[in-house]
Structure 1
Amino acid sequence: MSPAPISPFHHLLSQFFGYVSLLMSMIVTVPQIIENYNNKSGDSVSMTMLWIWMVADLLNFFGSVMQNIIFTAILQALYFVVTDGIIILQTYYYRFYYTDGKFNRLSADDVESAPQQTLISEGESSLDSVQPDSSLNKTSYGSIPSAQSPSGSGSVAQTFSMLRPLLITVAFFGLSALLYTYFPEKSDKITPSDYELQFWPQLFGYLSAILYAGSRIPQIIQNHRAKSCEGLSIMMFGFTLTSNIAYIISFFAESTDLDYIIPSLPWILGSAISPFLDLYIFYQFYIYS
């Protein structure tokens, strides 16, 4: 059975929250690419974790396309695949091919055994050197963004400053698309696509959700053993949480029809479980501080 037609208003609302989620993702992830370029270094990134995320993002993207879920969710999945690819290329290039412009012969084993460093250091410019013993930045998955101090706010303003032209551009095209959708030419209802359950898209979706959620567990264990959450960024944590919540709302804003929600469930759960784990990490930050 096909879901009931979707009103333009609900579609507009869904698109709005979807683009909010995407913009929050950019605020957290784009500065990392800039930082890698300016530092000419890939030592801050765990290649194992990056490849886990790449697999999860590819499963997420292909599953979302095959299941034909909402456009903004597909766009965000594509965004994460692209950013993962860029960071992986940067990391390999700066680790193995670039050391002050010369070929780097450091082995992969040596790199993986080296202490990991933070991606974004709040309290200092994202263009400055990275700090040791912190975790990676991801919006819909991965560890809580790290910082030099939990109360710092300098890098947030710097991030907004760097991303302002990009955010304005994305907002302009997003608003144009929303207005086009809001004023359909031939009908006051939007006919939904075929939301029937399909095995492979559902499998890809659930596998990606498991990988996303599982990537937080090592951080929780590490915090518990160290009895410390040094490096957590409250401000970036807020962006991460906002992105996940907006992502979930975008699905329910489109439609609450079960025939629509059930096929989208893997992607909803993928962003619903992670915030609970993030909140637990935030609780660790509170008790260990």
Structure 2
Amino acid sequence: MAHVRYPGKLSVDVAANLSATPDGPLCANGTQWILYLLEECADDIWEHWSVVIGLISMLCFLLSTLPQVYEAYKNGKVEEAVSIGFLVLLLSGDLSNLAGCYLTKQLPIQIVTAVFYIYTDSILISQFLYYKIKNSSTQKKPFLKWMCILWFGATSVFCLLLLKLLDIKSTTPSVQVQSVSGSLVTSGYACGYLSSMFYLSSRIPQIYKNFKRQSTEGTSYMLFALAMMGNGTYGLSVIVMLPALKQSKSSFLLNHLAWLLGSLGVLVLDFFVTAQFIMYRKNKSSKAEHRLNVPEFEPLLDEEEEV
């Protein structure tokens, strides 16, 4: 978110380890559920755990936005707590990530996941706009309700059409990525670097907004905690893969450099966000305690009224 969340974790990992052919898979010793689900031949314990950790990373990012959606619904003041710059840059990162997955012909599950990230981003942005308009005007609530319903409907239809447009069912497996035009693959990796820049930049507006407010109220820490878990497990999935490589390790890391820079960079920035949650929560507790300890200077009854 990277991302938040950081999508496209398995985009290069999978491409480097497939052993399938158009006539059928050649993976006698591979893990069958991985071969069936991801079309990847994981015939080594390191490859197996790299895929499992990568899927955990993907799951963390899929769930990361849900706590913030609930927090915004419960609080109703999301426009005061969340930076619109954070949301816009997050959406930009997910869009460029989707372009990178498509141009490099990644697996269908990755493209579907990337579209899902865009859908959840649109929900967060729609919540932001909804409460911003609602809290600034009390005369347009019926109109606002229907506008919100139409927005969700239009977004859902758009994401479904996008999946159809990308032709998910007939997407070429990543093992055949070498047959894709070299310029398209280069553009895909350029989109990977671009998405990393967007994800890194997205944390700056939110950190500044928290600092300016001296508070994190209205934002869910689980959004950042799950993003940290996702980024951490992604880095771990790459490291675990290294012992199983038969190719150059430096070349493998170079292919992952765009995603690693964005992932680890966002992870570092999320530690700053975590520090803000801890620090401002202490400030909130101390202020509440101070208010409780303030004595009452005026009596409940005037002395003249006492009998």
- 1:8 equivalenced with 2:65 (yes/no): no
- Quick check: 1:22–1:243 contact (8 Å CA) kept in 2? yes
How far 1:206 moved relative to its partner?
A: 1.1
- Quick check: 2:210–2:276 contact (8 Å CA) kept in 1? yes
How far 1:222 moved relative to its partner?
A: 4.6
Residues 236-279 of structure 1 deviation map (CA, whole Å, 9 limit, x = unaligned): 64433211111222334445533333223211211111111122
Q: Distance in 2 between matches of 1:224 and 1:93?
A: 24
Q: What SS does the corresponding residue of 1:8 show, helix, strand or coil?
A: coil
One of 134, 142, 147 as aligned partner of 1:102: 142
- Identical amino acids, percent of aligned pairs: 28
Residues 200-257 of structure 1 deviation map (CA, whole Å, 9 limit, x = unaligned): 112211111111111222344455566x454476666443321111122233444553
Q: Distance in 2 between matches of 1:287 and 1:95?
A: 27
More helix by share: 2
How far 1:57 moved relative to its partner?
A: 0.7
Q: Provide closer, same or farther for how the CA distance between residues 3 and 80 of structure 1 changes in structure 2, counting only shifts above 3 A.
A: closer
Residue 235 of structure 2: aligned partner: 248
Residues 9-40 of structure 1 deviation map (CA, whole Å, 9 limit, x = unaligned): 34432221122122222443124445667888
How far 1:79 moved relative to its partner?
A: 2.8
Residue 84 of structure 1: aligned partner: 121
How far 1:282 moved relative to its partner?
A: 3.4
One of 200, 203, 208 as aligned partner of 1:216: 203
- 1:267 equivalenced with 2:267 (yes/no): no
Structure 1: 5+ residue stretches without partners: 106-190
What value does the CA root-mean-square deviation take over the aligned residues? Answer: 4.2
One of 14, 19, 24 as aligned partner of 2:55: 19
- Read off the aligned partner of 1:102 and give its amino acid letter: P
Structure 2: 5+ residue stretches without partners: 1-14, 20-40, 146-173, 283-307
Higher mean C-alpha displacement, 24-33 vs 210-219: 24-33
Residue 200 of structure 1: aligned partner: 187
- Quick check: 2:101–2:111 contact (8 Å CA) kept in 1? yes
How far 1:102 moved relative to its partner?
A: 0.8
- Quick check: 2:67–2:223 contact (8 Å CA) kept in 1? no
Give runs of aligned pairs for residues 1-289 of structure 1, distance below 5 A. 7-9=42-44, 10-33=46-69, 43=79, 46-68=83-105, 74=111, 76-89=113-126, 102-104=142-144, 194=177, 198-222=185-209, 228=214, 230-231=216-217, 237-255=224-242, 257-283=249-275, 289=282
Residue 179 of structure 1: aligned partner: none
Q: Distance in 2 between matches of 1:233 and 1:93?
A: 18
Q: Distance in 2 between matches of 1:206 and 1:93?
A: 32
Flag the structure with larger Rg: 2
- Quick check: 1:95–1:104 contact (8 Å CA) kept in 2? no
